[in-house]
Chains A and B, each alone.
Chain A
Amino acid sequence: MTDERAPVPALAFDPDLAWGVHPQVALRDESFGALAYHYGTRRLLFLKSRPLVELVSSLDQYESATAAIVAVVPPEQRPAYRRALARLAASEVIGVR
């Protein structure tokens, strides 16, 4: 019943830049994590864990995505979260500030 489409992988994700939730994106908390809707691309995406939602929402408090990951995510999980952010960047849920 929805028409959302997989994002086209685009933009390289540079974790050393400062990132934040894209200005055209709204997040809605859900038990599994959050839903993200991009009003520009009209795409709906899922953030599939609470920690990922916390990481995404805290990005704008750090000078780089790497700094946010180091502050928020335990070491063994960092690669997975870096990949998750890269995917969110490709679908413009997060953008460079």
Chain B
Amino acid sequence: MSVDAPIENLPLRQRFTRGLDAPICLTWELTYACNLACVHCLSSSGRRDPLELTPAETLHVVDELADMRVFYVNIGGGEPMLRPDFFDLLSYAVDHKVGVKFSTNGTRLTAERARRLAGMDYVDVQISIDGALASTNDAVRGEGSFAAARTAMDNLAAADFGQFKISVVVTRENVTQLDQFSTIAESYGAQLRLTRLRPSGRGVDAWDALHPTADQQRMLYHWLLERPDVLTGDSFFHLSALGEPLDGLNLCGAGRLVCLIDPVGDVYACPFVIDDEFLAGSVRQEGGFARVWRQSDLFRSLREPQSAGACASCGSYDACQGGCMAAKFFTGLPLDGPDPECVFGHGEDALAARGSGPAPVAAVGHSKVDRRGVPLPVPTPVRFRTPARA
């Protein structure tokens, strides 16, 4: 994110943490339905929830976002293209000057749909892969998913869509393939986007085995510093403690700059904290999304000055701010202490001290099978309880 005009950076950052009139970065997950079952899925997606927002309700949310002057939304899921009203929503949003950046696994991005997307203004497409080779990718995302993603990329290129994004969650297995990811992106004239693996959703289980090692994180930091054109969604700011800060605002925006609207309309502080503790309200409540964003108790408390806790004595606190709240929460660490991937190893110490303590269990959420692979019956979503609307 770039910052202009003649005032120092710091006061602005402080003002950001007190919250804005509307989010800068709003993620909207349209459905919990997904035809893949990635092991690290942040939203534990799989099955559609019967209470997902109806088409009319989604259009109403767009109206609200347009009123609040939210410039764009990041649409995801689940697999958003599985929603039958996906293109209606897209057209409605861009017609109301709410730009759309959407993430897809590519399986439903046919040649015909690619041409349709190429004809729309203000739409950005992000195709997810988790390996530069089918073997690495399919181990995480499932058999055939790499080929499907490449076909989607070919379709966009053939349709002259322009610059799309290739999105990769960096793991212990694929961090050695960063240059290969760049090569794939270049071959399409696409932009590479790397994001951090957080222990959210099914990622709680996958995180231990898949999060990059300390050495890999240092390598990643230097790799990113040399490539300012690679997008990161500001997600590696805990690495800024290593020295020169990475490009971006370098702060946790949860409830301040960022939030999530989930498929049933619940509003969470960030897409990586789908848990009751970070549930602020529902777009279905009176006053809608705007009221939740501006007035919910949770968001208000997140906008208060936060304690640095065990990070207070760290010389790099200004760069790193103690890292990612979601990563701490789902590894059972105190929210006002070091990130589990603290570059100085304080997170590992804290994890060791925590022992086998009260780390939250992985949410099965809307997964199709439980953690042992046994098929699950009906979805049991965590949900904000509101009186049904008349």
Residues on A lying within 8 angstroms of B by beta carbon are 1-7, 26, 28-33, 35, 37, 39, 42-49, 52, 80-81, 83-84, 87-88, 91, 93
Contact of B231 with A3 in the complex, beta carbons under 8 Å:
yes
Contact of A2 with B6 in the complex, beta carbons under 8 Å:
no
Contact of A6 with B7 in the complex, beta carbons under 8 Å:
no
Is there a chain A Cβ closer than 8 Å to B160's Cβ? no
Contact of A1 with B25 in the complex, beta carbons under 8 Å:
yes
Smallest CB–CB gap between A90 and chain B, Å? 9
Q: List 28 A-B contacts (CB under 8 A).
A: A1-B235, A2-B233, A2-B257, A3-B193, A3-B233, A4-B1, A5-B2, A5-B229, A5-B247, A7-B2, A28-B21, A28-B22, A28-B69, A32-B11, A35-B71, A39-B97, A39-B99, A39-B121, A39-B122, A42-B72, A44-B2, A44-B71, A45-B3, A48-B3, A48-B6, A48-B12, A81-B6, A88-B4
A3 to B229, CA, bound (A): 10
Specify which of A2, A28, A45, A88 is in contact with B249 (CB 8 Å cutoff).
A2
Give the dominant DSSP class at B's interface.
Answer: loop
Give the dominant DSSP class at A's interface.
Answer: mixed
Contact of A43 with B2 in the complex, beta carbons under 8 Å:
yes
Contact of A45 with B2 in the complex, beta carbons under 8 Å:
yes
Smallest CB–CB gap between B103 and chain A, Å? 12
Q: Interface residue count for B (Cβ, 8 Å)?
A: 41
Q: Which of B52-105 contact A (CB under 8 A)?
A: 69, 71-72, 97, 99
Q: Which residues in B have their C-beta under 8 angstroms from that of A52?
A: 5-6
Q: Given the interface contacts A1-B258, A6-B247, A26-B69, does A42 sit within 8 Å of B124 by beta carbon?
A: yes
Contact of B12 with A1 in the complex, beta carbons under 8 Å:
no
Residue of A nearest to B94 (CB): A39
A44 to B72, CA, bound (A): 10
Smallest CB–CB gap between B1 and chain A, Å? 4
Q: Which residues in A have their C-beta under 8 angstroms from that of B20?
A: 30-31, 35
Specify which of B6, B71, B72 is in contact with A83 (CB 8 Å cutoff).
B6
Residues on B lying within 8 angstroms of A by beta carbon are 1-7, 11-12, 15-16, 18, 20-22, 24-25, 27, 69, 71-72, 97, 99, 121-122, 124, 193, 228-229, 231-235, 247-249, 253, 257-258, 270
Contact of B24 with A2 in the complex, beta carbons under 8 Å:
yes
Contact of A48 with B22 in the complex, beta carbons under 8 Å:
no
Contact of A91 with B2 in the complex, beta carbons under 8 Å:
yes
Smallest CB–CB gap between A75 and chain B, Å? 15
Known pairs A1-B235, A52-B6, A91-B4. 17 more at Cβ < 8 A?
A1-B234, A1-B270, A2-B233, A3-B231, A3-B234, A5-B229, A29-B21, A32-B15, A35-B24, A42-B99, A44-B71, A46-B4, A47-B4, A47-B5, A48-B6, A49-B6, A84-B4
Contact of B231 with A1 in the complex, beta carbons under 8 Å:
no
Residue of B nearest to A93 (CB): B4
Q: Given the interface contacts A32-B15, A37-B71, does A49 sit within 8 Å of B248 by beta carbon?
A: no
Q: Which residues in A have their C-beta under 8 angstroms from that of B234?
A: 1-3
Q: Which residues in A have their C-beta under 8 angstroms from that of B27?
A: 1
A5 to B191, CA, bound (A): 12
Residue of A nearest to B122 (CB): A39
Residue of A nearest to B251 (CB): A1
Contact of B5 with A33 in the complex, beta carbons under 8 Å:
yes
Q: Which residues in A have their C-beta under 8 angstroms from that of B97?
A: 26, 39
Q: Which residues in B have their C-beta under 8 angstroms from that of A42?
A: 72, 99, 124
Smallest CB–CB gap between B127 and chain A, Å? 15
Contact of B4 with A4 in the complex, beta carbons under 8 Å:
no
Q: Which of B4, B253, B257 has the most CB of A within 10 A?
A: B4
Q: Given the interface contacts A30-B20, A42-B99, does A2 sit within 8 Å of B25 by beta carbon?
A: yes
Residue of A nearest to B3 (CB): A46
A92 to B258, CA, bound (A): 25
Q: Which residues in B have their C-beta under 8 angstroms from that of A48?
A: 3-7, 12
A44 to B229, CA, bound (A): 16
Smallest CB–CB gap between B161 and chain A, Å? 14
